[in-house]
Structure 1
Amino acid sequence: MIDAQAFYDTIDGTWPAASKQHIGSWTIRDGQGGGKRASAATGDATGDIEQAEDAMRALAQTPLFMIREGDTALDADLHARGYQIIDPTNGYVTPVETLTDIPIPRVTAFAIWEPLAIMEEIWAEGGIGPARLNIMERTETKTGILARWNEKPAGVGFVAVHEGVAMVHAVEVLEHQRRQGVAQWIMRQAAFWARDNGAHTLAVLTTANNGPANALYQQLGFASAPGYHYRILQTKDDTSP
Structure 2
Amino acid sequence: MEFTTGARLEVRITPADVGKRVSVRRLTDACDRPARFTDAVGVLTSWDAGELRLTRRNGEVVRIAESAVVAAKVVPAAPARRRGPAASAAELTRVAARGWPPVVSERLGEWTLRASDGFTSRANSVLPTGDPGLPLDAALERVTRWYGERGLPALVQVATGAQDGGEALAAELDARGWEARRAALLQVGELAPVADAVSAGPGGAAVELARTVSAAWFSLYSRAGELTPAARTVLEGGPSVWLATVPGPDGAPAAIGRCVVDGRWAGFAAVEVAPDQRRRGLARAVMAALADRALAEGASAAYLQVEPDNAPALSLYAALGFTTHHAYHYRYRRTEE
Alignment TM-score, normalising by the size of structure 1: 0.86
CA distance in 2, matches of 1:18, 1:208: 27
User: Which of 220, 229, 241 is equivalent to 1:122?
Assistant: 220
Can you list the C-alpha shifts for 1:167-211, whole angstroms capped at 9, x where unaligned?
Answer: 011122111112322211111112111111221112111111211
Contact kept in structure 2, 1:95 and 1:200, CA below 8 Å: yes
SS in structure 2 of the partner of residue 100 of structure 1: helix
User: Which of 87, 103, 106 is equivalent to 1:18?
Assistant: 103
Q: Which has the higher helix share?
A: 1
Q: Percent identity?
A: 24
Instruction: Tell me, yes or no, if structure 1 residue 215 matches structure 2 residue 310.
Output: no
| Cα distance, 1:59 vs structure 2 | 2.7
SS in structure 1 of the partner of residue 196 of structure 2: coil
| Count of paired positions | 236
Within-5 A mapping of 1:143-182: 143-148=242-247, 153-182=253-282
| Cα distance, 1:217 vs structure 2 | 0.5
Q: Which residue of structure 2 aligns with residue 81 of structure 1?
A: 176
CA distance in 2, matches of 1:56, 1:171: 29
Q: Which residue of structure 1 aligns with residue 293 of structure 2?
A: 193
Contact kept in structure 1, 2:241 and 2:258, CA below 8 Å: yes
Contact kept in structure 1, 2:177 and 2:334, CA below 8 Å: no
User: Which of 94, 108, 113 is equivalent to 2:206?
Assistant: 108
Instruction: Tell me, yes or no, if structure 1 residue 56 matches structure 2 residue 151.
Output: no
Q: Which residue of structure 1 aligns with residue 240 of structure 2?
A: 141
| Cα distance, 1:97 vs structure 2 | 0.9
Q: What is the one-letter code of the residue matched to 2:288?
A: R
SS in structure 1 of the partner of residue 295 of structure 2: helix
Can you list the C-alpha shifts for 1:128-168, whole angstroms capped at 9, x where unaligned?
Answer: 64332221223231110112467863111111122321101
Name which structure has the greater RCO, CA cutoff 8 Å, separation 6+.
Answer: 1
CA distance in 2, matches of 1:49, 1:159: 33
CA distance in 1, matches of 2:214, 2:149: 36
Contact kept in structure 2, 1:149 and 1:182, CA below 8 Å: no
Contact kept in structure 2, 1:108 and 1:149, CA below 8 Å: no
User: Which of 164, 179, 185 is equivalent to 1:90?
Assistant: 185
CA distance in 2, matches of 1:133, 1:236: 28
Question: Structure 2: which 5+ runs fail to align?
Answer: 1-84
CA distance in 1, matches of 2:107, 2:143: 10
Instruction: Tell me, yes or no, if structure 1 residue 5 matches structure 2 residue 90.
Output: yes
Q: Which protein shows a greater Rg?
A: 2
Alignment TM-score, normalising by the size of structure 2: 0.63
Q: Which residue of structure 1 aligns with residue 125 of structure 2?
A: 40
Moved over 6 A (4+): 149-152
CA distance in 1, matches of 2:313, 2:167: 27
Question: Structure 1: which 5+ runs fail to align?
Answer: none
- The root-mean-square deviation of aligned C-alpha atoms, in Å, is 2.5
Contact kept in structure 2, 1:143 and 1:158, CA below 8 Å: yes
